[in-house]
Amino acid sequence: MEISILGDFNVHHQLWLSSPFAGHPGELAFNFAILHDLEQLVQHPTCIPDRLEDTLNILDFFLTSNASANAVSLAFTLGSSDHNLISVCLFLQFLLRIPSGGKPAKGNTIFKKRRT
């Protein structure tokens, strides 16, 4: 089973996100990722500072258990957002099971016959 978690987490961690400090929520997120063997794929700052004292930060995450099956890229902001747009490409594989006897399960819309 693969796990992917993404979103605007607004947490900081020095070792993980190139943040100037680490807060308790950042420690929790970091420990959760380590505990579940998740890799953070967003590697460049996503938050654009709107105050002089602020710095560039990675506040948007894409945590995944299968880094090789996903691709992340950043684009410019949309509208007045202070975050860069993140584009994620997921390479999904799934297995379609046909019940024994070759008959579809009741209610399975994939295999319903067309009425003529």
| 103 within domain boundaries | no
How many other CB atoms are found less than 10 A from the CB of residue 97? 7
In a domain? residue 115: no
CB-based burial of residue 68 (10 Å sphere; 0-12 exposed, 13-18 middle, 19+ buried)?
Answer: exposed
Query: What is the C-alpha to C-alpha distance for residues 2 and 68, in angstroms, rounded to an integer?
Result: 11
Identify the CATH number of the domain in which residue 63 sits: 3.60.10.10
Q: What is the pLDDT of residues 40-81, one digit of tens each?
A: 888 877 777 777 777 777 778 888 898 888 778 777 777 777
Does the residue 80 lie in any domain? yes
Q: Please report whether residue 82 resides in a domain.
A: yes
pLDDT classification of 34: cutoffs 50, 70, 90: very high
Q: Angle 65-67-71 (CA atoms, 0-180°, nearest 5)?
A: 135
Domain assignment present for 58: yes
> What range does the domain containing 49 cover?
4-93
Structural tokens at position 19: 């943040």
Q: How many C-beta neighbours within 10 Å does residue 78 have? A: 9
